[in-house]
Amino acid sequence: METSIRCQQHQEFLVQYIFFQQKNIKFGCVECISELQDENQSVNIFKNILLLHDRPQKLLSQISNIDDQTLQFYSRFHKKTVSIITQAFQNWENNMRNFQKQIDNIILQQKGFVEELIANYKNTMQQLSHEIKFEEFQNLIKEFGTANEKLQNDVLDQISHKITQHFESLDKNNAKQLNESLKRIKQEYLKYQENINLPDVQEFQNSFQYMIKSTDDLHSQIGKSLNFVNQMNSAIIPNSYSKYLIGLIKNKLNQDIKQIKVIYLGSRDGLNGQSLWNKIDGKEHLIYIFKSKNPGNYVFGSYVSCKVKQDLNNWQSDESLSSFIFSYTHNEIYPLKQSERQHAILCQPISYAVWIGMSGNIGICNDFINGQSYLGSSYEWDKFENKRSSHLFGGDTPNIEECEVYELQI
């Protein structure tokens, strides 16, 4: 419960602020603030002023020996965090429930559409059966089977003769009448198919894409508000492995990671080279994660610390030697060779979506299907034989099903 205290200098106002002046602490009101501003127009007077009921982390700024990185970490917490996240979730939940209604509607539409098609199909088959007297033919076949079991040869001959007559009647006058009937049935069937209206799913597709983006935005808001700096929320690798990768990167850089942001998802942004480069151009400290459609669904990727540029059309060097390739499938890490630091990554979007290391330790073409892997040429691998390898992909080509790219803010 907030306390109401009258300002000693301005009794008509309540105390709202605490003034830190060296080792002296004074309490003041809005009028005190106004007077200080008039006296110190060129000085930031608010640096040493706190609201009486301010956030606890704001108080840390007045303690001289708090570590800067620790102070920065807590400064990102806000008293409105819970309400912001709650409101963001409620908006997302409302969107999802509206989307659920769309799903129910599209199911009903598709069900009605399929039922109409099946009814037309059954009607066509009934007409066909009627025209060729299919039921009579089946009865003759049953009689033939019964006579055959009883070894009634004379009856078999009679039934065989009836079956012959059946076909002769259908083939009468070169099957002219039958052909006309079958053509009529065919035309009716095709006409129905032409006139039937397919359910419009474009709005549903747009809503689906919006839901994906809405979910990404929610996770981004939660991550930003709650200061989730060490999680990627990947759909390809588990959270435990993403933490392992982040820890490895932090150790290599000897720096903390302020934020992790997903900047590209193949399933959301389009699984092609240009879409990828449009998202990553000019960025650095990127984690690429790939999932292959090859047997075994191999998962692999890379962390590249240097900045990537669309217009460079050349290699980027990693002087920090912090870049590495990883295989989640094999649980292996392949660090950049010191002698190959100038070949960390190739920036050549006209030819490749991703080309990491000389000869393509990870080489993925713009279609995300073709490519190659000379793992070991620029990034360490003890089984390197100076030839193409299926070790990362599980096949001769990458054949990528999904790609995620995360940007680390250092």
Q: Which amino acid is located at 191 in the chain?
A: K
End-to-end Cα spacing for the chain: 40
CA–CA dist 248, 258 (Å, integer):
15
Given a cut of 60, whether residue 97 has pLDDT beyond it is: yes
Q: Which of 329, 357, 352 shows the shortest CA–CA distance to 342?
A: 357
Helices assigned H by DSSP within 226-291 = 239-253, 266-269, 273-280
What confidence score (pLDDT) does residue 85 get? 87
Q: What single-letter DSSP state applies at residue 164?
A: H
Map residue 40 onto helix, strand or coil: coil
Q: Residue 200: which residues within 8 A CB-CB, separation 6 or more?
A: none
Burial bucket for residue 67 (CB in 10 Å: 0-12, 13-18, 19+): exposed
What confidence score (pLDDT) does residue 303 get? 98
- Point out the least confidently predicted range of 77-81, 131-135, 397-401: 77-81
Per the document, the length of the chain is 410
CA–CA dist 216, 280 (Å, integer):
17
* Local confidence band at 42 (pLDDT 50, 70, 90 cut-offs): low
* Local confidence band at 1 (pLDDT 50, 70, 90 cut-offs): very low
Does this model's pTM top 0.85? My answer is no
Task: Give pLDDT tens digits for 138-188.
Answer: 998 888 888 787 778 888 888 888 889 988 888 888 889 889 999 999 999
What confidence score (pLDDT) does residue 72 get? 63
Q: What single-letter DSSP state applies at residue 42?
A: T
CA–CA dist 371, 355 (Å, integer):
9
Q: What is the β-pairing status of strands 299-304 and 324-327?
A: antiparallel
Task: Give pLDDT tens digits for 252-280.
Answer: 999 888 888 899 999 989 999 999 999 99
- Point out the least confidently predicted range of 39-43, 94-98, 392-396: 39-43
Per-residue tokens: 348: 């050549």
CA atoms within 13 A on the CB side of 251: 7
